[in-house]
Amino acid sequence: MPRPFHLGWFLQGSSVQAWGEPWTGAIGRDWMRPDLFTDMARALERACFDYILVEDSSYVGEAYGGSREIYLRHGLSVPRQDPSIVATLLFAATQRIGVATTLATFTHHPYLLARIMATLDQVSAGRAGWNMVTGSSDMAARNLGLDGLPEHDLRYDMADEYMACVNALWDSWEPGAILADTESGVLVDHEKVHSVDFKGRWYSSRGPLNSGPCMQGRPVIAQAGGSPRGRRFAATHGETVVANPKGIAAMKAYRDDIRALAAAAGRDPDSIKVLFLVNPIIGESAEHAEMRRLERIAAADRRIAQRLAHFSKVTNIDFSGFDLDQPIDEGLRTNGHQQNLDTLKRMGAGGKTLRQAFTEYSGTGLSVDLCGTVDAVAGQMAEAMQEIGGDGFLFSMGDVSRRVVAEVADGLVPALQARGLVRRAYAHATFRENLLEF
Ligand X SMILES: Cc1cc2nc3c(=O)[nH]c(=O)nc-3n(C[C@H](O)[C@H](O)[C@H](O)COP(=O)(O)O)c2cc1C
Return the number of the residue (77 or 401) whose C-beta is nearest ligand X.
77
Return the number of the residue (251 or 374) whose C-beta is nearest ligand X.
251
Return the number of the residue (129 or 372) whose C-beta is nearest ligand X.
129
Residue 199 beta carbon to ligand X: minimum distance, rounded to whole angstroms? 27
User: Among the candidate windows 158-166, 207-215, 224-232, 246-254, which touches ligand X by CB under 6 A?
Assistant: 224-232
Residue 222 beta carbon to ligand X: minimum distance, rounded to whole angstroms? 8
Check binding of 133 to ligand X (CB under 6 A).
yes
Residue 155 beta carbon to ligand X: minimum distance, rounded to whole angstroms? 8
CA dist list (Å): 198 to 30, 172, 212 = 45, 11, 18
152 labeled binding residue:
yes
Check binding of 10 to ligand X (CB under 6 A).
yes
108 labeled binding residue:
no
Pairing outcome for strands 128-133 and 220-223: parallel
User: Strand, coil or helix: what is 140?
Assistant: helix
Check binding of 244 to ligand X (CB under 6 A).
yes
Question: Among 110, 126, 230, 392, which residue interacts with ligand X (rule: CB under 6 A)?
Answer: 230
Check binding of 129 to ligand X (CB under 6 A).
no
User: Among the candidate windows 205-213, 236-244, 294-302, 344-352, which touches ligand X by CB under 6 A?
Assistant: 236-244
* Touching ligand X, residues 318-377 (CB under 6 A): 337-339
Check binding of 50 to ligand X (CB under 6 A).
no
Helix-strand-coil percent breakdown of the chain, rounded to 5?
45, 15, 40
Nearest to 107 by CA among 87, 128, 134: 134
As a whole number of angstroms, the distance between CA 403 and CA 285 comes to 17
Question: Among 28, 34, 61, 135, which residue interacts with ligand X (rule: CB under 6 A)?
Answer: 135
Q: Which residue's C-beta sits nearest to ligand X?
A: 230
Question: Among 207, 212, 226, 245, which residue interacts with ligand X (rule: CB under 6 A)?
Answer: 226
* Touching ligand X, residues 308-327 (CB under 6 A): none
Phi, psi of 49 (to 5 degrees): -60, 150
* Touching ligand X, residues 271-300 (CB under 6 A): 277
Check binding of 243 to ligand X (CB under 6 A).
yes
User: Among the candidate windows 209-217, 221-229, 321-329, 378-386, which touches ligand X by CB under 6 A?
Assistant: 221-229
CA dist list (Å): 282 to 36, 52, 288, 344, 371 = 21, 21, 8, 26, 6
Return the number of the residue (133 or 400) whose C-beta is nearest ligand X.
133
Contacts of 183 (CB under 8 A, 6+ apart): none
Check binding of 80 to ligand X (CB under 6 A).
no
Number of residues that bind ligand X (CB under 6 A): 23
Q: Nearest-5° angle of CA 57, CA 62, CA 65?
A: 150
Q: Which long-range contacts (CB under 8 A, 24 or more apart) does 346-355 make?
A: 346/246, 347/246, 351/327, 352/327, 352/328, 353/324, 353/325, 353/326, 353/327, 353/328, 354/319, 354/322, 354/323, 354/324, 354/325, 354/326, 354/327, 354/328, 355/301, 355/304, 355/324, 355/325
Q: Are 198 and 165 in contact (CB under 8 A)?
A: yes
Binding residues for FMN: 56, 102, 152, 156, 227
By CB under 6 A, name the binding residues for ligand X.
Answer: 10, 55-57, 102, 104, 131, 133, 135-136, 224-227, 230, 242-244, 277, 337-339, 394
